[in-house]
Amino acid sequence: MSLNIIFREKDIPNIREFDVYSKNGGYEALKKALSQTRKQVIDEVKASNLRGRGGAGFPTGVKWSFIPQDNPINYVVVNADESETGTFKDRQIMENNPHQMIEGALICAYAIKAAAVYIYLRGEFWDVAHALDAEIARARKAGLFGPNGKLKDADGNPFKVDIFTHLGAGAYICGEETALLNSIEGKLGQPRVRPPFPANKGGGLYNEPTVVNNVETLANVPWIINNGAEEYKKIGVGSSSGTKIFCLSGHVKNPGNYELPFGVTFRQLLYDYGGGPLNGGEFKAILPSGGSGPILRVTDEVLDTPLTYDDLRKFNSILGSASVIVMDDTVDIVWVASKVTKFFKHESCGKCTPCREGTYWLDKVLDRILAGGGKESDVDLIMSVAKNMQPTTLCAFGEFAANPTIWTINVFPEEFKAWVDGSKKPAEEKAVARPARERVAAAAAPAGD
């Protein structure tokens, strides 16, 4: 059932190189799109049911259609910040099949009449950015875009959109689109108040309407233009069309990126592709969308759930960016809550009160519980603090940051109870947690299959 829309390097070696990519039908989609009207392109993407792969799952075509076509300057920003815990798909795309994303971005640029495309990469991706710059330069030299672009659009105007990469400084919050825009503008990476939304005048990059799309989303676009929306809809199930790259990490034998059609179940992913539990343990919990999402206790019902945007809703869960982190029974869930909360405390930008203070507070109390100083009331306290954060924060980060606490307490109350009633003690915790931490770290390293 291997269909590589995005990971084409598996079928065609060295497709990351411009020559190889162009020989294998590269940039044909761009040319095809340029021969159509902008509305046709947007409608095609709309019809394909392509949804944002960055986590929110917003229909891409609809997003594009928000951009006012009469505005003289619009922008496309590619969100390659990829900072969600357990996500490592965009890096693989950019390293192994960068031109497909570039082509998708250019199609988007044409469709929304953009003046330029910015690819925002997290600071740690400096080497990726170097390679990307080289490939962009090759394509630009070939006259596909940029100031010397030779292609003409449907109206006969030359297609001169240019692409630039921009390195961030390594902040999780800059994956949030408005913080990302601030960062490109050279401002502090803090989210902006919405409305105005990035698609509105006054809300986007340099106050101009802007489309912000994930790398994976845009990499899907050339295929849709080439093969048509109808073909695309045949892949996947229901309203979740196409393939999705699942970033599998944690206690599985074969962690890595798996491009699979929507509808594959957890069981297939974890056992067929992931190879089952590492070290013969039992699966205990799944984080289906990285640290920011919910946590699920592994049951047969969960394992047999198809992975689509809609099916996970029955557990109040989301698919997110599909960074699936699996944990076996050696893992202490309170430790997980603390660990993930520490991450969010570290990454909170500090702009709005509830998130700045709440993440710090949660972390302190969780630390205290793990040090053996917890009281029964502390579990209620952190639950209450987390719930107070969610409705009051400025951006979605605050909601994400409260999630690990709320979900772990709801799903694994017994583990918290064990800590606060004294049946679990710090010394014991250390013996369990240390190796687990190392294994998770090792498993999180990006590796293809």
Partner 1 sequence: MAEQKLVTITIDGKAYQVPAGENLVDAARNHADNQIPVFCYHPKMAPVGMCRMCLVEMGTPERDPNTREIVHDEDGNVKVRWMPKLQTACTQTVSDGMYIRTTTDQVADARNNVLEFLLTSHPLDCPVCDKGGECALQDLTMAHGPGKTRMVFSEKMHLDKIVPLGDLIVLDEERCIQCARCIRFQDEIVGDDVLAFHERGRTLRIITKSDPGFDTYFSGNTTDICPVGALTTVDFRFGARPWEMTSVPSIDPWDAAGSNISLDMRLDRDFGGRAMIKRVMPRQNEWVNEIWISDKVRFGHHFTRAEERICAPLLRNNGNLNEVSWTEALDTVAGVLKAANGDIGLIVGSGASNEDLWALRQVVNGLGSERLGAWPVTHTGGELIAQVGVGKGTNLGKLGKGDVVLIVASDIEEEVPIWRLRIKQAHDRGAAVIVANARKTRMDDFASHTFRYEAGKAAHWLADLKKSAPEAAEAVKSAANLIILTGAEGLTLEGHAALMQAAANLLIETGHVGKPNNGLLSTFPGANGVGQYYLGYTPEQSVAMAAKPPKVLLVAQADMLADDPSVAAWLDKVETIISFSMLPDGITAKFAKVVLPIQSFAERDGTFTNGERRVQRFYTAQGPMGWSLPLWQIANRLGEKLGQGKAKLSAAAVMKEIAASVPAFEGMDYRALSKVEKQYPDVGGASDSYYYSGTACKNTGGLGVVIPTAADKGETVKAGEVKLPAVPKAGKGEFVIIPSTRLYNREAQFKLSTVVHPRVMVPFAEINSADAAKLGITSGDVVQISANGGSVRVRANVNGGAPEGSVVLPRHLTDEPVPMAITVGQVSKV
* Site for partner 1, rule CB under 8 A: 171, 173, 188-189, 193, 345-354, 356-361, 364-365, 368, 381, 385, 388-389, 391-394
Q: Measured from the CB of residue 403, what is the shortest distance to partner 1 in angstroms?
A: 16
Contact 76, 121 (CB under 8 A): no
> Distance (Å, rounded) from C-alpha 239 to C-alpha 228?
16
Q: Measured from the CB of residue 189, what is the shortest distance to partner 1 in angstroms?
A: 8
For 304-438, where are the E strands, in sequence order?
Answer: 323-328
> Judged by CB, which is closer to partner 1: 18, or 397?
397
> Distance (Å, rounded) from C-alpha 379 to C-alpha 375?
8
Nearest to 264 by CA among 283, 251, 246: 246
Q: Measured from the CB of residue 103, what is the shortest distance to partner 1 in angstroms?
A: 35
> Judged by CB, which is closer to partner 1: 381, or 411?
381
> Judged by CB, which is closer to partner 1: 24, or 384?
384
**Alpha-carbon separation of residue 192 from 60, 169, 242, 352 (angstroms):** 21, 18, 32, 11
> Distance (Å, rounded) from C-alpha 365 to C-alpha 380?
11
> Judged by CB, which is closer to partner 1: 279, or 384?
384
> Judged by CB, which is closer to partner 1: 37, or 392?
392
User: Helix H segments across 200-347?
Assistant: 215-227, 229-234, 266-267, 300-303, 333-347
Side chain identity at residue 290, one-letter code:
G
> Judged by CB, which is closer to partner 1: 262, or 361?
361
> Judged by CB, which is closer to partner 1: 158, or 350?
350
> Judged by CB, which is closer to partner 1: 373, or 435?
373
> Judged by CB, which is closer to partner 1: 201, or 346?
346
- Where does residue 63 rank: exposed (0-12), middle (13-18), buried (19+ CB within 10 A)? buried
Q: Measured from the CB of residue 388, what is the shortest distance to partner 1 in angstroms?
A: 4
> Judged by CB, which is closer to partner 1: 247, or 394?
394
- Where does residue 376 rank: exposed (0-12), middle (13-18), buried (19+ CB within 10 A)? exposed
Q: Measured from the CB of residue 360, what is the shortest distance to partner 1 in angstroms?
A: 4
Q: Measured from the CB of residue 391, what is the shortest distance to partner 1 in angstroms?
A: 6
Nearest to 214 by CA among 262, 249, 175: 175
Q: Measured from the CB of residue 350, what is the shortest distance to partner 1 in angstroms?
A: 3
Q: Measured from the CB of residue 320, what is the shortest distance to partner 1 in angstroms?
A: 19
**Alpha-carbon separation of residue 149 from 28, 31, 111, 140, 403 (angstroms):** 15, 12, 17, 7, 47
Contact 211, 198 (CB under 8 A): yes
> Distance (Å, rounded) from C-alpha 286 to C-alpha 303?
10
> Judged by CB, which is closer to partner 1: 279, or 377?
377
> Judged by CB, which is closer to partner 1: 233, or 356?
356
Q: Measured from the CB of residue 49, what is the shortest distance to partner 1 in angstroms?
A: 24
Of the CA atoms within 13 Å of residue 293, those in its CB half-sphere come to 28
Contact 245, 7 (CB under 8 A): yes
Side chain identity at residue 232, one-letter code:
Y
Q: Measured from the CB of residue 345, what is the shortest distance to partner 1 in angstroms?
A: 6
- Where does residue 396 rank: exposed (0-12), middle (13-18), buried (19+ CB within 10 A)? middle
Q: Measured from the CB of residue 372, what is the shortest distance to partner 1 in angstroms?
A: 15
For the four alpha carbons of 411, 415, 419 and 422, in that order, the dihedral sign comes to positive
Side chain identity at residue 243, one-letter code:
T
Q: Measured from the CB of residue 368, what is the shortest distance to partner 1 in angstroms?
A: 7
Q: How distant is the alpha carbon of residue 253 from its chain centre?
A: 23
